[in-house]
Amino acid sequence: MVETGHFALVLAFALSLVQMLVPLVGARTGNQRLMAVGGPVTVTGFALTALSFAALASAYAGSDFSVASVWENSHSLQPMIYKITGTWGNHEGSMLLWVLILTFFGALVAVFGNNLPATLKANVLAVQGMIGAAFFLFILATSNPFIRLNPAPIEGRDLNPILQDLGLAIHPPMLYLGYVGFSICFSFSVAALIEGRIDASWARWVRPWTLVAWMFLTGGIAMGSYWAYYELGWGGFWFWDPVENASFMPWLAGTALLHSAIVMEKRSALKIWTLLLAILTFSLSLLGTFLVRSGVLTSVHAFATDPARGVFILCILTLFIGGSLTLFALRASQLTAGGLFHPISREGALVLNNLFLTTATATVLVGTLYPLALEALTGGKISVGAPFFDLTFGPLMLPLLAIVPFGPLLAWKRGDVVAASQRLMAAFALAIAAMLVTGLFINGASVFAALGVGLAVWLVAGALTDLAVKSGAGSVTPAVMLRRLAGLPRSVFGTALAHLGLGLTLLGIVGTLCFGTEKILTLRPGETVELSGHTLRFEGLTPQKGPNFTEDRGRFLLMGAGGNPDGEITSAKRFYPVRQTVTTESGIRTLGLSQLYLSLGDENKDGSVVVRLWWKPLVTLIWGGGLVMMAGAAMSLLDRRLRVGAPAKRRKPAAALANPT
Amino acid sequence: MLFWVIAAILTLGASLAVLLPLTGGMKGPSPAGDHDLEVYRDQLSELDRDMARGLIQPGEAEEARAEIGRRILRLGAAMQPGSAAPKSARSARWVASMAVLAVPLLSWGLYGMLGSPDLPSQPLAERLAKNPADSSVDELVARAEAHLAANPSDGKGWDVLAPIYLRLQRFPDAVTAYRNAIRLDGDSAVRQSGLGEAIASAAGGIVSADAQNAFEAALKLDPANAKANFYLAVGLAQEGRKAEAVAAWQKMLGQLAPDSPWRSAVQQALGEAGGPAVADATPAAGPDAQQVEAAQQMSPQDRQAMIETMVAGLDDKLKQNPRDEEGWMRLIRSYVVLGKAEKARDALGRAVAAFGADSEQAKKFTAFAASLGVTATE
Amino acid sequence: MTRKQKRMSVILAGLAFLGAAAGLTFYALGQKASYFYMPADLATASVPPGQRIRLGGLVEKGTIVRGQGATVAFSVTDKQKSVKVTYTGILPDLFREEQGVITEGAFGPDGVFVADSVLAKHDERYMPKEVADGLKAKGVWQESKSQ
């Protein structure tokens, strides 16, 4: 029932207006009844949005071409999975997914927020309602997915072949869960500004939301990077493309927020800064949405763009960023500052972390927006790419990564750098050893490569040191140590895992960039090629047929040590007749942590084929590290102290320690 | 009908979500301070646990405990006895009733502007399950396309579909279909000349080098192929080699069978090229020319009737294939010329709907219609 | 040092850090950003060989020549001037004659543009923005016709 979905969407918009006004008035006047409206309205709004989304998804699944968006982005012959993922593989549908997640998070606050002060909850829901109302209006006014065609065309125009991939099922929903998750932090901050006070429970609420959003954003970025890596056939995992930067900036700011929220929760310090950071993080998410949708920047990942939409989002952007920052300027002075601390302390380390991360965010922001500004001012067109970011972002990251292992080992309030350094001696020795081994024994290793490997090992070893020190390694027997390890708060594991994951990602990046090899050549069937010790034999091209495409699939045999085939890699050129589009399916074979990657070019007249192949050592660690970071965030979320609303069961300490497994 | 019932139920549910909390009972207010106190208590117990595990030194723990204690004291001082009493019950009631009213009014009003309540869902499987006799040409073509997509190496299928595409003016599709037919079922003069015609039509009638190649290939297989001969001559004319074109056409006239449908086309071409038509010319047989001629000889009423049939035909075609920009403009103009303002307005509405209200085309249509004195609304 | 001086020094260190970062950023923008040109722009702007730029335009019809191995030569045109480009590697799937393209690289001493990356857009319905703007400015590109 397409029209039911359309009606539900309109109704959800009406409810979001109620949600944004009534609880706000209730909180201003202290009227309990008005404040109580927020909860049920938010939940109902979510249910209606879900209904609307389900209606659109079923129209896509059933190839209902009387819906314009289905007609433009689907085809009756697509496999069912791509028919369904096609629901959000276009601008209109993805915006609906965006608000679906927004209302879902709002509903979570409404349902589980009973232990929040009533006025705070009312204000948070009202701010969520404002964001919701703005985006519902945006959808209805410029990007309505329910526009109908009468009479209905008989066949659709197919989903962009690049998007016909499992990546579309995972990457955008994760990314939106991340982007939109930060809206809750934003709403809490604005609510606190409206009230003019920050409760102690504020940080308790904001921290887990930051964790959730950060976890999904990490996963979304990692997934997107892997998707681009295998789908685009260029073998690159990160291009410093504006669209990538658009998701990377909230991640950097969100990482800073994650750390400053810890200080705020534990020590009631950095309150105002954390609040500002929460506003900035979500603002950067909105900016990302604007950059991606408006087409003001050229990107390799862009959606179909429409300037009218860009102007609308720009208005939303100005309204929310301008409004919240103005409110901040007016109210920040009323908020009480928190506890004091010595520069050398856990807080000090976290402040340093924030300083580096926000500066890094600023560099990425400048690099992304400078071409826009320059074009607006002088008309000159430039592109800012990897060389710029290598020169600015790189030097900021190196010292930050170097100090990461110190942070968790410093005490709150007043730390002891010397003691922390002593504990890190083993990790430091390991890192130096790794650096020397890389520099001296691996052919072609540059100073930079050795430094990178050393830094990565330093991060990994530092994270493990943290766990070892906290479980009392060296001073107690191994049995006691294990027991203590099992009894450590889960957030300690979370921190260690996240830092470890960062080290793994760095190792993957350094491995791929510094030790990867690459060849471009033409091959005839039967010819072999050798790359970094791997021999491949080209078997030839065979034409094949898929559900909505035809392809020429090239087979390559991986030759083992004895000259016997040891598995095969296939890569294909696909032709999608509906859009008259060719895509390249790259062939990837994972060997240990490394990958052989090959991509097929055009066939020459003499039957030979252009082939580009890469050897990418340790490349899987780039995304594996991302997964470990996600696991760290999940671990921290499981920590009872962070689970908001969880009943504070008093377990006996003995019981907690009794189970070493 | 069912839709309106569902819409009413949804509206009712949404309104209740606003209404119920407004009329429901109230819990006693819990001052914000309670929540803070709970947090601080938690922090104290966490401190104890950390100390039991030896994660922090007793000295640090004492200091932290003192700090949390200070926060609790400050909290006690800040808490005011009794929160502000609910003020201005009247304004609250006003806000409440506005909110309850806004939900149904806004949703029905907006939906009335945006929605298409009369349009049922049309999943493809359902549409294709219909009896073929009830299907439109487009639907039949779609079935053939579905079959060919599943069996793209069915050369015969492409061969059948290609001329249909040509007639439906889907020229690029026709080019693809002819190419596939040639690739799979081999060369033939008919296919090659069809391909040439498709290429030329796709280029708006220009006989390009590609089209020329196709026609020449057709002539190699069948030197008497009329279509190929005709278009090659058109190509000559387009290059400015009028005399050669005229010669070619005249040669054709000599060879063509007396009942050949090409005769009239050739004569018309000759007429346009200014060349002398052959004396024994048979009457024009081409459908378009015939119609025009017939129309000239008709009585005014008959002529009006015939024009109306043609306009209705155009209308029908646009119903089948709504994304034909030119077609819509022609239809709107025709209705204006026929003095049917109502129908013109309706056509404008449908044209705008076909491309989406905020599309470039919609703006163009509206401006075009306005220039003829037709506006979308009364 | 008194407490106040200590705090001041921390703040000053932070500001110095930010200043250094800002300085580096703007230095890098000056050095590492690559300018975008259309072929006709190159007549007025003097681009020394070896300087990295982006060159955008349409792939000129009939100029794609596949040479030895994986090297391809083609011309990029804005319908006023055209520039010869060579590229070694695999061209993007949407690389076609008469289609918009952005190449990045530098001019060799012989005046041929040596590209190390060639970008065409993901979606066949859209033209790279710079190219579309550039062509519009030169009056050789109309808004896309009805689809």
Q: Which is more confident, A659 or A410?
A: A410
Whether B174 and B205 have beta carbons less than 8 Å apart is answered as: no
Whether A231 and A165 have beta carbons less than 8 Å apart is answered as: yes
- Look at residue A8 in the predicted model and tell me its pLDDT: 96
Q: Which is more confident, A2 or B31?
A: A2
Confidence band for B55, pLDDT divided at 50, 70 and 90: low
Task: Report in angstroms the alpha-carbon separations of C134 from A310, A377, C77, C139.
Answer: 20, 17, 11, 9
Measured CA to CA, the distance from residue A439 to residue A433 in angstroms comes to 10
Confidence band for B299, pLDDT divided at 50, 70 and 90: low
Confidence band for A419, pLDDT divided at 50, 70 and 90: confident
- Look at A98-112, A233-247, A644-658, B6-20 and tell me which has the smallest mean pLDDT: A644-658
- Look at residue A460 in the predicted model and tell me its pLDDT: 96
Measured CA to CA, the distance from residue A182 to residue A367 in angstroms comes to 23
Residues A227, A232, A235, A238: is their CA dihedral positive or negative?
Answer: negative
| Range(s) of chain A covered by CATH 2.60.98 | 517-616
Looking at domain C35-146, its CATH superfamily turns out to be: Nucleic acid-binding proteins (2.40.50.140)
Q: In the 8-state DSSP scheme, what is residue A319?
A: I
Q: Which is more confident, B139 or C105?
A: C105
Confidence band for C132, pLDDT divided at 50, 70 and 90: low
> Tokens standing for B29?
């207010």
Q: Is B323 close to C146, i.e. CB distance below 8 A?
A: yes
Radius of gyration of chain C (CA): 22
Q: What are the strands, taking DSSP E only, across C14-137?
A: 34-37, 53-59, 65-66, 71-77, 82-88, 100-107, 113-119
pLDDT of A502 above 90: yes
Q: Which pLDDT tens digit goes with each residue over B262-298?
A: 887 888 888 777 654 443 333 333 344 445 555 555 5
Q: CB within 8 A of C98, min separation 6: which ones?
A: C58, C59, C61
Q: b or e along A530-559 (b: 16 or more beta carbons within 10 Å of the residue's beta carbon)?
A: ebbebebbbeebeeeeeebbbbbbbbbbbb
Within an 8 Å CB–CB cutoff, is residue C142 touching chain B? no
Task: Report in angstroms the alpha-carbon separations of B27 from A114, A119, B369, C89.
Answer: 12, 14, 62, 71
pLDDT of B129 above 80: no
Burial bucket for residue A127 (CB in 10 Å: 0-12, 13-18, 19+): buried
Q: Is B11 close to A11, i.e. CB distance below 8 A?
A: yes
- Look at residue B329 in the predicted model and tell me its pLDDT: 79
Candidates A180, A169, A190; CA nearest to A324 is: A190
- Look at residue B135 in the predicted model and tell me its pLDDT: 59
The pTM (predicted TM-score) of the whole model is 0.77
Confidence band for A188, pLDDT divided at 50, 70 and 90: very high
Measured CA to CA, the distance from residue B80 to residue B67 in angstroms comes to 22
In DSSP notation, C70-101 reads: TEEEEEEE-SS-EEEEEEESPPPTT--TT-EE
Measured CA to CA, the distance from residue A519 to residue B257 in angstroms comes to 65
- Look at residue C103 in the predicted model and tell me its pLDDT: 87
Which of A233, A392, A600 comes nearest C28 by C-beta?
A392
Angle between helices A307-317 and A118-142 (to 10 degrees): 160
Contacts of C143 in chain B (CB under 8 A): 360
Please state, as a whole number, how many other Cβ atoms lie within 10 Å of the Cβ of residue C134.
Answer: 24
Q: Which is more confident, A325 or C95?
A: A325
Chain A, 320 to 339: residues with Cβ < 8 Å from chain B are 339
In DSSP notation, A376-438 reads: HHH---EE--HHHHHHHHHHHHHHHHHHGGGGGGSPSSS--HHHHHHHTHHHHHHHHHHHHHH
Angle between helices A118-142 and A32-61 (to 10 degrees): 40
Confidence band for B167, pLDDT divided at 50, 70 and 90: confident
In DSSP notation, A281-307 reads: HHHHHHHHHHHHHH--S--TTPPP--H
Longest dimension (CA), chain C: 77
Collapse the DSSP code of A521 into the 3-class scheme (helix H, G, I; strand E, B; otherwise coil) and give the result: strand
Q: Report which listed range, A5-14, B35-44, B92-101, B249-258, is most confident.
A: A5-14
Residues A573, A576, A577, CA angle at the centre, nearest 5°? 130
What element of type H or E holds A545?
A: strand A534-545
- Look at A4-8, B215-219, B221-225 and tell me which has the smallest mean pLDDT: B221-225
Q: Which is more confident, A358 or B54?
A: A358
Instruction: Name the region of B122 (left: φ>0; alpha: ψ -120 to 50; beta: rest).
Output: beta
Contacts of B323 in chain C (CB under 8 A): 146-147
Within an 8 Å CB–CB cutoff, is residue A486 touching chain B? no
Q: Which is more confident, B81 or A375?
A: A375
Residues C78, C84, C86, CA angle at the centre, nearest 5°? 125
pLDDT of C146 above 50: no
Give the mean pLDDT of B208-232: 87
Confidence band for A125, pLDDT divided at 50, 70 and 90: very high
CA A19 to chain centre: 29
- Look at residue C48 in the predicted model and tell me its pLDDT: 82
pLDDT of A647 above 50: no
Measured CA to CA, the distance from residue A463 to residue A252 in angstroms comes to 20
Q: CB within 8 A of B72, min separation 6: which ones?
A: B37, B40
What element of type H or E holds A587?
A: strand A587-591
Collapse the DSSP code of B224 into the 3-class scheme (helix H, G, I; strand E, B; otherwise coil) and give the result: coil
> Tokens standing for A243?
């669209």
Give the mean pLDDT of C73-96: 84
> Tokens standing for A475?
């001073």
Residues A462, A463, A466, A467: is their CA dihedral positive or negative?
Answer: negative
Contacts of A367 in chain C (CB under 8 A): 25, 29
Chain A, 361 to 390: residues with Cβ < 8 Å from chain C are 362-363, 366-367, 370-371, 380-385, 387-388
Whether B225 and B193 have beta carbons less than 8 Å apart is answered as: yes
Collapse the DSSP code of A189 into the 3-class scheme (helix H, G, I; strand E, B; otherwise coil) and give the result: helix
Measured CA to CA, the distance from residue A388 to residue C31 in angstroms comes to 8
Residue carrying the six token digits 């040596």: C114
Give the mean pLDDT of A168-190: 93
Confidence band for A4, pLDDT divided at 50, 70 and 90: very high
Tell me the backbone φ, ψ of residue B222, rounded to 5 degrees. -150, 95
pLDDT of C123 above 50: no
Give the mean pLDDT of A533-558: 88
- Look at residue B249 in the predicted model and tell me its pLDDT: 86
The proportion of chain B whose per-residue pLDDT surpasses 70, expressed as a percent, equals 78
Beta-sheet pairing, C100-107 with C113-119: antiparallel
pLDDT of A478 above 50: yes
Measured CA to CA, the distance from residue A69 to residue A305 in angstroms comes to 14
Q: Is C143 close to B361, i.e. CB distance below 8 A?
A: no
Measured CA to CA, the distance from residue A656 to residue B161 in angstroms comes to 75
Measured CA to CA, the distance from residue A372 to residue A291 in angstroms comes to 11
Chain A contact probe: residue of B106, B124, B359 with most A CBs at under 10 A = B124
What element of type H or E holds A518?
A: strand A517-523
Q: Which residue of B has its CA nearest to A36?
A: B21
Chain C closest-CA separation from residue B142 CA (Å): 19
- Look at residue C124 in the predicted model and tell me its pLDDT: 43
Q: Which pLDDT tens digit goes with each residue over B301-341?
A: 666 666 677 777 778 778 777 777 777 877 887 777 677 77
Tell me the backbone φ, ψ of residue C46, rounded to 5 degrees. -95, 115
- Look at residue B34 in the predicted model and tell me its pLDDT: 66
Q: Which CATH number fits domain A517-616: 1.10.150, 1.20.120, 2.60.98, 3.30.980?
A: 2.60.98
ipTM here: 0.84
Chain C contact residues (CB < 8 Å to A): 6, 10, 14, 17-18, 21, 24-25, 27-29, 31-37, 52, 54, 66, 69-70, 88-91, 93-94, 102, 104, 119, 121-126, 128-130, 133
Mean pLDDT score of chain B, rounded to an integer?
A: 76
Chain B contact probe: residue of C124, C142, C145, C146 with most B CBs at under 10 A = C146
Confidence band for C125, pLDDT divided at 50, 70 and 90: very low
- Look at residue B133 in the predicted model and tell me its pLDDT: 58
Give the mean pLDDT of A633-641: 83
Burial bucket for residue B151 (CB in 10 Å: 0-12, 13-18, 19+): exposed
Contacts of A521 in chain C (CB under 8 A): 69-70
Chain C closest-CA separation from residue A27 CA (Å): 39
Could you state, in order of their start, the residue ranges of all structural domains in chain C? 1-33, 35-146
Beta-sheet pairing, C113-119 with C82-88: parallel
- Look at residue A594 in the predicted model and tell me its pLDDT: 93
Give the mean pLDDT of B110-130: 84
Q: Which pLDDT tens digit goes with each residue over A24-44?
A: 999 988 888 899 999 999 999
Tell me the backbone φ, ψ of residue C71, rounded to 5 degrees. -85, 135
Measured CA to CA, the distance from residue A100 to residue A93 in angstroms comes to 10
- Look at residue B79 in the predicted model and tell me its pLDDT: 56
The type of residue at B271 is G
Measured CA to CA, the distance from residue B122 to residue B314 in angstroms comes to 24
Task: Report in angstroms the alpha-carbon separations of B114 from A139, A231, B334.
Answer: 12, 38, 29
Whether A633 and A494 have beta carbons less than 8 Å apart is answered as: yes
